[in-house]
Amino acid sequence: MKKVLFIAFTLLMTASAVSVSAQNKDRRKSFNSWDNYEITTEKVGVDGTKFVKVWGYGRTVDKAVMAAKENAVHACIFRGLPGNASAMSTPPICPNPDTLVSHEDYFQNFFAAGGPYLAYVNMTTDGVPSGTDCRKVKGGYKVAIYVQVMYDNLKHKLEADGIARKLSSGF
Amino acid sequence: MDSKIKFTVTLALLLPVLAGAQAKVKEVVTSDYNRNSISFIAVQRGDVYDSDVLAAVKAYNPGEKFDLNKIATETIQVSRSRAVSSQSPTYNYIIPTDVISSAVREKSLDKEILTYIFGRDSQGFMNDKLIRYRGNYDAKDQDVINARASRVGIEALGDAGHGLVSHSYVVVVDPYSLQKKVDDKGKVTWSASTKAYAYKLGLSAEQLNEFYDKCWIYEEDDDATKTAKRQAFIDFPPLMEQAAVVSASGSSSDPKKAIYNSLSDIVTHLENQLSDWEVAVTIAAKKPLRAKIGTKEGLRNGARYRAYSYREDEAGNLISVPRGYLRATEISDNSGMASGETEPSKFYQISGMANIEEGWTIKQSNDLKFGVMAGVKFGGICPGASLAIDMDLLMNVNTNGTMSYVLLGGAFDLKTASGVSAVNFGIGYGYAFHLSRFIELMPYISLINDYVGPVSSGTSSTASFMSKSALALEPGFRASVNVAYPLQLFGKVCFDWLTPLRGNTYELWNNSANHGSRLGFQAGVKWTF
> Mean pLDDT, 10 residues at a time, over chain B (529 residues)?
51 46 64 94 89 90 93 90 61 85 90 95 94 94 91 88 94 88 85 93 92 94 94 90 93 87 89 94 95 95 96 91 96 90 94 94 95 94 91 96 96 81 93 94 96 71 82 96 94 94 86 89 95
Instruction: Report the run of H or E that residue B121 belongs to, with start and end.
Output: none
| pLDDT, position A36 | 78
Question: Measured between beta carbons, which residues in chain A are less than 8 angstroms from residue B151?
Answer: 43-47
pLDDT digits (tens, 9 = 90+) for A27-80: 445 445 567 789 999 988 899 999 999 999 999 999 999 999 999 999 999 999
- Spatial separation of the C-alpha atoms in residues B293 and B98, rounded to whole Å: 37
Burial B65-77 (b: 16+ CB within 10 A, else e): bbbebebebebbe
Q: How far is A142 from chain B (nearest CA, A)?
A: 9
Instruction: Report the run of H or E that residue B521 belongs to, with start and end.
Output: strand B518-528
| pLDDT, position B359 | 94
Put simply, the chain B residues between 141 and 180 with a CB less than 8 A from any chain A CB are: 141-142, 145-146, 148-152
CA A78 to chain centre: 11
A164 φ, ψ to 5°? -105, 150
- Spatial separation of the C-alpha atoms in residues B509 and B515, rounded to whole Å: 10
User: Is B16 near chain A, with CB under 8 Å?
Assistant: yes
DSSP E strands in B163-226: the ranges are 168-182, 188-201
Question: Measured between beta carbons, which residues in chain B are less than 8 angstroms from residue A130?
Answer: 31, 282-284, 358-361
User: Is A170 near chain B, with CB under 8 Å?
Assistant: no
pLDDT digits (tens, 9 = 90+) for A116-127: 999 999 988 888
Question: Measured between beta carbons, which residues in chain A are less than 8 angstroms from residue B283?
Answer: 130
CA torsion B58→B63→B65→B70, rounded to 10°?
Answer: 20
Task: Give yes or no for a contact between B110 and B238, defined as CB atoms under 8 angstroms apart.
Answer: yes
Task: Give yes or no for a contact between B230 and B115, defined as CB atoms under 8 angstroms apart.
Answer: no
The closest alpha carbon to A51, from A12, A103, A90, belongs to A90
**3-class SS string, B9-56:** HHHHHHHHHHHHHHHHHCCCCCCCCCCEEEEEEEEECCCCCHHHHHHH
CB contact (8 A) between residue B310 and residue A124 = no
User: Is A23 near chain B, with CB under 8 Å?
Assistant: yes
Which residues face B495 on adjacent strands?
Answer: B519
Question: Of B8, B28, B151, which is closest to A5 when you measure between CB atoms?
Answer: B8
| pLDDT, position B90 | 62
| pLDDT, position B464 | 78
| pLDDT, position B466 | 82
The closest alpha carbon to A34, from A55, A8, A16, A17, belongs to A55
Question: Measured between beta carbons, which residues in chain B are less than 8 angstroms from residue A51?
Answer: 146, 149-150
User: Is A85 near chain B, with CB under 8 Å?
Assistant: no
Question: Measured between beta carbons, which residues in chain A are less than 8 angstroms from residue B148?
Answer: 124
Question: Measured between beta carbons, which residues in chain A are less than 8 angstroms from residue B8?
Answer: 5, 8
**3-class SS string, chain A:** CHHHHHHHHHHHHHHHHHHHHHHHHHHHHHHHCCCCCCEEEEECECCCCEEEEEEEEECCHHHHHHHHHHHHHHHHHHHCECCCCCCCCECCCCCCCCHHHHCHHHHHHHCCCCCHHHHHEEECCCCCCCHHHEEEECCEEEEEEEEEECHHHHHHHHHHCCCCCCHHHHC
A152 φ, ψ to 5°? -65, -45
Question: Of B148, B310, B359, which is closest to A128 when you measure between CB atoms?
Answer: B359
Which residues face B407 on adjacent strands?
Answer: B392, B428
B498 φ, ψ to 5°? -80, 110
- Spatial separation of the C-alpha atoms in residues B293 and B280, rounded to whole Å: 9
Q: How far is B365 from chain A (nearest CA, A)?
A: 17
Contacts of B134 (CB under 8 A, 6+ apart): B35, B37, B67, B161, B164
Instruction: Report the run of H or E that residue B256 belongs to, with start and end.
Output: helix B255-273
Q: Work out how many CB contacts closer than 8 A connect A with B.
A: 108
User: Is A135 near chain B, with CB under 8 Å?
Assistant: yes
- For residues A23 and B144, which has the higher predicted lDDT (pLDDT)? B144
Question: Measured between beta carbons, which residues in chain B are less than 8 angstroms from residue A46?
Answer: 149-151
Question: Of A12, A24, A43, which is closest to B146 when you measure between CB atoms?
Answer: A43
